[in-house]
């Protein structure tokens, strides 16, 4: 008996990795000393030398069951952007800029074409934000994963000057909340979405989605907000707090960045809700409060600024819109 007969084909995995080598190499910056193939990725910490008190910020996350929709439709090209952009946004909340990214891909059987597509999209996403895909792990584990399922996760490491850490400590009642729109579900709520559309034709253009198919709307990649926030920093705008609206929606994520004793008022109707959310709500008869607890509902990323900065932020980021304010007392309230 050999390893292949046991369900693990080392040669197939190696072939897919070799095919992706050039794409991954395009993400390497001059600081990268060792990348793919090494036991550990190596990168010069040159940027840290230029900082007074560099603070490393790290985060690990995954794409969740969005991978099942990708497998169902054969569309894997956006998954790398989902994972990298989600991770960049998470550390951006604390003011950190990314340094490098590492991935983890696992399945019962790693198909060469699928692995190649995912690795290529990860490389493209890293290149878009200017960081190396420094290394990772690919694993075949029959018996742990269901046939056709794919696990995609990753770790990002970033850095921020200690004096520039965004911790929400300067947030005060009356501060304004501005939202940067999401591109759709991003990477959360897919278990409910898949249940809602069970048996539906994902390839059929739908009037409710302005002619887009369900597959197109559901697999729209997670948006990255790094460039938007950097534009504010370059203009000298103080952002007191930021929240990436992911699993748990605005109810769970916004309070994470606010001082104890403060909450938020969100104005319903003040921001555009992508039509995919209302279609999910009608299809599965989901209550409004549950929708905001599961999905981002169009609130991709929330900025907290002084009221006198609202117009300036709007001029720098035309897509942003005022969606509420900070109030005394805990919790998030939709009004």
Q: What is the pTM of this model?
A: 0.95
The fraction of the chain above a pLDDT of 70, given in percent, is 100
Give the burial class of 125: count Cβ atoms within 10 A of its Cβ; 0-12 exposed, 13-18 middle, 19 or more buried. buried
Using the CB atoms, write b or e for 244-257: b if 16+ within 10 Å: bbbbbbbbebbbeb
For 324, what's the count of Cα atoms within 13 Å in the CB-facing half-sphere? Answer: 22
Query: Which residues, 6+ apart, have CB-to-CB distance to 164 below 8 Å?
Result: 95
Residue pLDDT, tens place only, 262-285: 999 999 999 999 999 999 999 999
The per-residue pLDDT for 6 is: 73
Query: 245 is written with which tokens?
Result: 């609206």
Residues (pLDDT < 50) of the chain are none
Q: How far apart are CA 272 and CA 270, in angstroms?
A: 7
Q: Cα(first)–Cα(last) distance of the chain, in Å?
A: 65
Residue pLDDT, tens place only, 142-159: 999 998 899 999 999 999
For 304, what's the count of Cα atoms within 13 Å in the CB-facing half-sphere? Answer: 31
């Amino acid at each position: 008996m050999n390893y292949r007969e046991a369900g693990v084909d080392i040669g197939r995995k190696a072939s897919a990795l070799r095919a992706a080598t050039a794409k991954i190499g395009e993400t390497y910056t001059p600081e990268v000393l060792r990348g793919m193939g090494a036991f550990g990725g190596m990168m010069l910490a040159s940027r840290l030398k230029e900082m007074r008190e560099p603070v490393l910020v790290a985060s690990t996350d995954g794409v969740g069951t969005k991978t099942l929709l990708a497998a169902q439709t054969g569309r894997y090209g956006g998954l790398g952007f989902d994972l990298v952009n989600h991770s960049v946004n998470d550390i951006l909340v604390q003011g950190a800029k990314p340094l490098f990214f590492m991935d983890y891909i696992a399945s019962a059987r790693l198909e060469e074409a699928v692995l190649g597509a995912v690795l290529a999209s990860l490389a493209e996403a890293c290149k878009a934000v200017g960081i190396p895909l420094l290394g990772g792990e690919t694993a075949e584990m029959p018996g742990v994963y269901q046939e056709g399922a794919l696990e995609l996760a990753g770790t990002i490491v970033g850095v921020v000057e200690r004096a520039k850490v965004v911790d929400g400590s300067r947030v005060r009642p009356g501060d304004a909340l501005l939202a940067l729109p999401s591109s759709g579900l991003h990477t959360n709520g897919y278990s409910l979405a898949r249940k809602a559309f069970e048996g539906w034709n994902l390839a059929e253009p739908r009037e409710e989605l302005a002619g887009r198919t369900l597959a197109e709307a559901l697999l729209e990649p997670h948006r990255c907000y790094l460039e938007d926030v950097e534009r504010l920093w370059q203009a000298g705008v103080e952002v007191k707090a930021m929240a990436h609206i992911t699993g748990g929606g605005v109810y769970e994520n916004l309070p994470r960045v606010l001082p104890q004793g403060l909450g938020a008022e969100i104005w319903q109707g003040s921001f555009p809700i992508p039509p995919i959310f209302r279609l999910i709500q009608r299809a599965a008869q989901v209550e409004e409060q549950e929708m905001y607890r599961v999905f981002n509902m169009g609130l991709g990323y929330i900025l907290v600024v002084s009221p006198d900065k609202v117009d300036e932020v709007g001029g720098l980021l035309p897509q942003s819109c005022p969606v509420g304010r900070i109030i005394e007392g805990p919790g998030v309230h939709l009004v």
